Chain A
Amino acid sequence: MASRGATVRRWTTSDHVVGWAFASPAVLLILLFGIVPIVWSAVLSFQKTNLLAPPQWVGLRNYRALPHDPLFTSALIHSAIYTALFVPLSIAGGLLTAIALNRRLRGIRIYRTAVFVPVVVSTIATVIIFLWVFDPNFGIANWLLGKVGLGPYGFFTSANGALYSIVLMTVWGWIGFDVIVYLAALQGIPAELVEAAEIDGAGTWGIFRHVTVPLLAPVTLFLVVWSTINALQLFDEVYLATNGGPGTSTYVPVFYLFRLAFQLGKAGYAAAIAYVLFAVILVLTVVQLLVGKRMVYQST
């Protein structure tokens, strides 16, 4: 109680006024564009609305319709395939690249910059580049693959290959991020640990498997969670590179949501999809954190 009294005495009136004066512009904007929309979106998901006419209350009908919507289920499947490929590829690729870059070599700056530059290139610029690289007729990808006896492939224009082409493109664009995070973590591994392992007779693989990977586990967990969240929110690349096609072969939830809300006049249904997606992300994140924490604990 004594400490509470002391606290109260320090809370002066002027602090309340000044504190709120400082915080209020930010708080008002976040209330308006952060918190109100979260609640409003939940309300919309129980309504039928095209954003123009007055909305109608439909209860749970939007949510009930979701499992029977083939486009929604296929969007979920595409999203799962994309995530299952993008997350491990970008993280494993990022780790290996970071290990290769984690040394003093002539020209190391050039290598690092080469790996990193795609991260600052915008999505639309990346898509324009890859539509050209992956062009079925004149693209350099088919030409290079042809040199080793592969292809030609349709890439974005083939119903079987479009999703995988998006995976390759986004790995190219994102891998620099994983590299930076891993490089920072690799610098934190004490050189003595590696030397001790060498003295104990561990080879390069042994050090990688039993020293580097376990020590990087917390960072890997962070990247897994982060990449999964981003992968599930895939939109720009799909909209720009394939527009969901060919057919509906690259429909993903956010793309479908965008089509429904802003092109097909079904904003209530779209809001329901947004909330289901939010729930999926939340559950996956919690599961990854719980399982991951355990694995991190066991490996260190």
Chain B
Amino acid sequence: MSEIETLELANRADATGWPSREEEPPKHRFLFSGWHLVLIPIAVVMVIPLVWMLVTSLQTLEETRHYPPTLVPTSLQFSNYTDVLQQAPFARWFVNTLIVTVVVVIGNLLFCSLAGYAFARIRFFGRGVVFIAILATLMVPFQVVIIPTFLIVRGFGLIDTLGALMLPNLVSAFGIFMLRQFFLTLPIELEEAARIDGASRLGILFKIVLPLSGPALATLAVIMFLWTWNDFLWPLITIYSESHMTLQLGLATFQGAHQTNTNLLMAANVMSMIPVLLLFFFAQRYFIRGIATTGLKG
């Protein structure tokens, strides 16, 4: 039921992160399986909207206003993409999103590691109560806290700055919880040996524990990346100036302004998806594990 359970399920995975049985030889390698007849329609339904987005992004405006739909564009309008970049500060939005995402990911890796390690290994006053309080915040939907969080961020004078997007997200209760659980599974003997040799707690964390925690850190990084990169509601509430917008918010603004220029809209959409898709293909295993772990999605 818990995240941990799913995490364990997701740990049974093949090289690309997909859950998989041990390699067993396919029984009928050259026989056409009937399952293709089930899977092809499913795959087609999932892919058609994306393919049609791509096709539309290369069409002329006339072709998009044609019924029945033009499925094969007569010429590839790559100029749609350059037009988009000229009409809206997408480069700026991209950089903003990148800055916010990198800061949030680094903040989470650092602060969640420190806190997760303290909760896993160091006996300090109030540890149990504080940990339970942190876990309790996981149960509260974001909407419950959104108004006061807005007021607090406004109190810091951060409204309409990138700081508004970074500060409240530098730490996640989920990250603390996940890393604590992971640290608990590491053999304590290594750490005890290092302590006897006189290593400090900080030294142990950075030289012994974190180097052993690569997969857990990567999973947390991917979760926070996906969540921050795709977040919409919070930027919508805190950012007003076009120059401070994130990619998602900028895209929504662009959509509002170009509702009839479908080809430009689709070109913008394709561009907005490229960074996440690239990361997905290169870090697929951590995406799968991260999503199976939390169900987080932007």
Interface of A toward B, CB cutoff 8 Å:
7, 10-11, 15-20, 22-23, 25-27, 29-30, 32-38, 40-41, 44, 51, 97, 100-101, 103-107, 109-112, 114-125, 128-133, 135, 137-140, 143, 172-177, 180-181, 183-188, 218-219, 221-222, 225-226, 229-230, 233, 235-236, 239-240, 254, 257-258, 261-262, 267, 270-271, 274-275, 277-278, 281-282, 289
B35 touches A100 (CB 8 A): yes
Asked if B88 lies at the interface with its beta carbon under 8 angstroms from chain A, I say no
Taking CB atoms, residues of chain B closer than 8 Å to A33 are 145, 149, 152, 167-168
Additional 13 contacts, C-beta under 8 A, given A11-B124, A138-B64 = A19-B122, A23-B114, A33-B145, A34-B134, A114-B43, A122-B272, A129-B53, A181-B6, A181-B9, A183-B19, A271-B147, A278-B141, A289-B1
Nearest-CB residue, chain B, relative to A34: B137
Asked if B111 lies at the interface with its beta carbon under 8 angstroms from chain A, I say yes
Asked if B207 lies at the interface with its beta carbon under 8 angstroms from chain A, I say no
Asked if B176 lies at the interface with its beta carbon under 8 angstroms from chain A, I say yes
B134 touches A124 (CB 8 A): no
Nearest-CB residue, chain A, relative to B56: A132
Taking CB atoms, residues of chain A closer than 8 Å to B146 are 37, 261, 274
Option from A229, A239, A270 in Cβ contact (under 8 Å) with B147: A270
Option from A32, A132, A277 in Cβ contact (under 8 Å) with B266: A132
A183 touches B42 (CB 8 A): no
Q: A115-B46, A188-B12, A278-B141 known; A123 and B298 CB under 8 Å?
A: yes
B147 touches A44 (CB 8 A): yes
Q: Could you mark each residue 222-243 of chain B with 1 if its beta carbon is under 8 Å from any beta carbon of chain A, else 0?
A: 0000100110110011000000
Within 8 A of A (CB), among B1-24: 1, 5-6, 9-10, 12-13, 16, 18-21, 24
Within 8 A of A (CB), among B28-50: 29, 33, 35-36, 38-39, 42-43, 45-50
Asked if B68 lies at the interface with its beta carbon under 8 angstroms from chain A, I say yes
How far in angstroms is the closest Cβ of chain A from B63? 10
Within 8 A of A (CB), among B127-155: 127, 130, 133-134, 137, 139-152
B137 touches A35 (CB 8 A): yes
- Interface-side segment among B73-81, B213-221, B288-296: B288-296
Q: Complex: how many Å from CA A107 to CA B40?
A: 10
Q: A33-B168, A100-B38, A180-B288 known; A25 and B276 CB under 8 Å?
A: no
Q: Could you mark each residue 152-184 of chain B with 1 if its beta carbon is under 8 Å from any beta carbon of chain A, else 0?
A: 100000000000000110110100100000000
A123 touches B141 (CB 8 A): no
B137 touches A10 (CB 8 A): no
Option from A19, A34, A274 in Cβ contact (under 8 Å) with B173: A34
Asked if B190 lies at the interface with its beta carbon under 8 angstroms from chain A, I say no
Interface of B is mostly: helix
A184 touches B269 (CB 8 A): no
Taking CB atoms, residues of chain B closer than 8 Å to A225 are 1
Q: A23-B119, A27-B134, A101-B39 known; A222 and B5 CB under 8 Å?
A: yes
Taking CB atoms, residues of chain B closer than 8 Å to A10 are 123
B269 touches A125 (CB 8 A): yes
Option from B5, B143, B252 in Cβ contact (under 8 Å) with A274: B143
Taking CB atoms, residues of chain B closer than 8 Å to A289 are 1
Query: What are 17 A-B pairs at a CB distance below 8 A?
Result: A10-B123, A25-B115, A32-B152, A37-B147, A41-B145, A44-B147, A111-B42, A120-B276, A123-B248, A124-B272, A129-B269, A177-B291, A180-B291, A181-B9, A183-B18, A218-B1, A233-B142
Option from B123, B147, B232 in Cβ contact (under 8 Å) with A124: B232
Nearest-CB residue, chain B, relative to A93: B42
Asked if B90 lies at the interface with its beta carbon under 8 angstroms from chain A, I say no
Q: A25-B171, A240-B252, A278-B140 known; A111 and B123 CB under 8 Å?
A: no
Taking CB atoms, residues of chain B closer than 8 Å to A239 are 233, 236
Nearest-CB residue, chain B, relative to A278: B144
Within 8 A of A (CB), among B243-298: 248, 251-252, 255, 262, 265-266, 269, 272-273, 276-277, 280, 287-288, 291-292, 295, 297-298
How far in angstroms is the closest Cβ of chain A from B296? 9
Q: A111-B43, A125-B269 known; A22 and B67 CB under 8 Å?
A: no
B255 touches A124 (CB 8 A): yes
